[in-house]
Structure 1
Amino acid sequence: MSEPRARVIPEATVARLAVYLRVLTGLAEGGRSSVSSGELASAAGVNPAGLRKDLSYLGPCGVRGVGYAVPALRERLARALGVEEARSCVLVGMGNLGSALAGYAGFGSRGFSFVGLLDADPARVGEVVGGTAVRPVDDLEDVVAEHGVTIAVVTTPAVVAQQVCDRLVAAGVRSIVNFAPVALVVPAGVDVRQVDLSVELQVLAFLDQQKGVHLVADRETEQVALP
């Protein structure tokens, strides 16, 4: 008899599972041993029904009326997301943003370790950021091979981002987080997550503007309703 096929978890659900893991990590660091579905859902910004549906992809979780055991659920989420052990990553582009990301200690507690920091500027080579020395970008392929890296972060200027991406893919990297303001072209089997901070700010600006429009409209409605 063949084994049952694993359920495919939708990408949107994977993103929420990562948020649950972050919340549970914070609870565990604070000494919590259990959490209710309502509390976990509220901390993650979802409703309890949505939380339970997301966690159903992991199989039976929690006890009705009791909630979830924080250590156990945290371990299951880490295993499902593939971060139960530290994942080696490289970061290319040690400008202000790259340096800030490389120096952020929170990645280590979430299962990610920058084993290679690379930059094209000779003046940056040799600097130590977050405990790792910056190496010349010419060493990219060597660093990827040395550590078996499959995940990379790109924070280079847009004009060189595609070239760096091509080198990463050729070296064996399968997953890229791209902060450069340009869409990267990759072959099938390579995943790219685009993070454009300017776009996010523009979205927030639009939403903030809409709040102002609705506020003015509500005030005008109230004035019309006055006797």
Structure 2
Amino acid sequence: MPLTNRKKNNLVPEPALRRMPCYLAYLKLAQKEGLKHISSTLIARDMGVDPTQVTKDLSYTSIVGKTRVGYEVEPLIEVLEDFLGFTVVDEAYLFGVGSLGKALLHDHGLKQFGLKVVAAFDVDPEVVGKTIEGVPIYHFEELSKMHEGTAKIGILTVPVDKAQDVANKLVEVGIRALWNFTPVRIKVDEDVVVQNTSLYAHLAVMFNRMKAE
């Protein structure tokens, strides 16, 4: 019998949310290997996390494992996917069809995690009017007249000097969440969700750690 997801109303700490997709990927591999049950101790050992941390993270979904048995793998996968919002597909617009933008359009894995890019926008005549992986590319000026409120997420892969202006326009037409791949920390109203994903910041951390060894 599948576990019931009794999602709690309190805000889940961001570090826990960051770990949960890693647990999910690990569990899917375990499922492929034929495991039916798995313990927090085993998850912790293989992922380099403290067992109590694994138990605490999973408790935010109200999942409870059984003593000396652990968690049922398949129901745990289902509950985690539901808790993380991966079972419902949200539509998004992508802004900036450069190298990174094109790579995201080619990433078929996004839809598996609940995100579907339905349109892309740019100002470069070399890409406007084309289609990449079934996603049509429009001129940025067409956003206002074509946006019907179905897409609530905007993905920013625009040049640094355009990031804030583009973000302002997106909020103006009703976009309520921004996935920002630029190194600029954009400023928007508090009711707009912003997730910053700076590749350059992670690169700096990696280089720093390499030098420290």
| TM-score scaled by length of structure 2 | 0.85
The answer to which of 111-120 and 91-100 deviates more is: 111-120
Residues 27 and 88 (structure 1), Cα distance of their counterparts in 2 relative to 1, 3 Å cut = farther
Superposed displacement of residue 29, structure 1:
5.9
The CA RMSD over aligned residues, in Å, is: 2.2
**Which residues of 2 match residues 32-71 of structure 1 at below 5 A?**
32-71=35-74
Deviations 1:112-153 (A, max 9, x none): 11111111112102332222122222232355425x212221
The alignment covers a number of residue pairs equal to: 206
User: Among 42, 60, 78, which residue is 1:75 paired with?
Assistant: 78
Q: What pairs with 1:41-190 in structure 2 (closer than 5 Å)?
A: 41-142=44-145, 144-145=147-148, 148-190=150-192
Q: Which runs of 5+ in 2 are unaligned?
A: 1-7
The question of whether the paired residues in 1 share the 8 Å contact of 2:86 and 2:112 is answered with no
Q: 1:201 to 1:20 in 2, by over 3 A?
A: same
Q: CA deviation at 1:64?
A: 2.2
Structure 2 CA distance, aligned partners of 1:69 and 1:33? 6
Contact 2:152 2:174 in 1 (8 A): yes
1:40/1:145 CA distance change after superposition, 3 Å = farther
What secondary structure is seen at the aligned counterpart in 2 of 1:66? coil
Give how far 1:78 is off. Answer: 2.3
Report deviation, 1:105. Answer: 1.1
SS in 1 for 2:12: coil
Tell me the TM-score normalized by structure 1.
Answer: 0.81
SS of the residue 1:117 aligns to: strand
Q: Hey, which of these two has a bigger chunk of helix by percent?
A: 1
2:153–2:178: 8 Å Cα contact kept in structure 1? yes
Q: In the superposition, relative to structure 1, how do residues 150 and 21 fare at CA in structure 2: closer, same or farther (>3 Å)?
A: farther
- Does the 8 A contact of 2:156 with 2:178 survive in 1? yes
Identity of aligned residues (%): 32
Q: Distance in 2 between matches of 1:144 and 1:27?
A: 42
Q: Secondary structure at the match of 2:63?
A: coil
CA–CA distance in structure 2, aligned partners of residues 140 and 45 of structure 1:
45
Unpaired runs of at least 5, structure 1: 212-227
Deviation string for 1:78-113 (max 9, x for gaps)? 222223211111111000011001111111111111
Greater RCO (CA < 8 Å, at least 6 residues apart): 2
AA aligned to 1:164 is V
Bigger Rg, structure 1 or 2: 1
Tell me which residue corresponds to 1:220.
none
Between 78-87 and 109-118, report the one with greater CA deviation.
78-87
Q: Secondary structure at the match of 1:58?
A: coil
Farther off after superposition, 32-41 or 86-95: 32-41
- The whole-number CA distance in structure 2 between the counterparts of 1:26 and 1:137 is 41
Q: Is the 8 A contact 2:118 2:136 kept in 1?
A: no
Give the 3-state SS of the residue equivalent to 2:64 in structure 1: coil
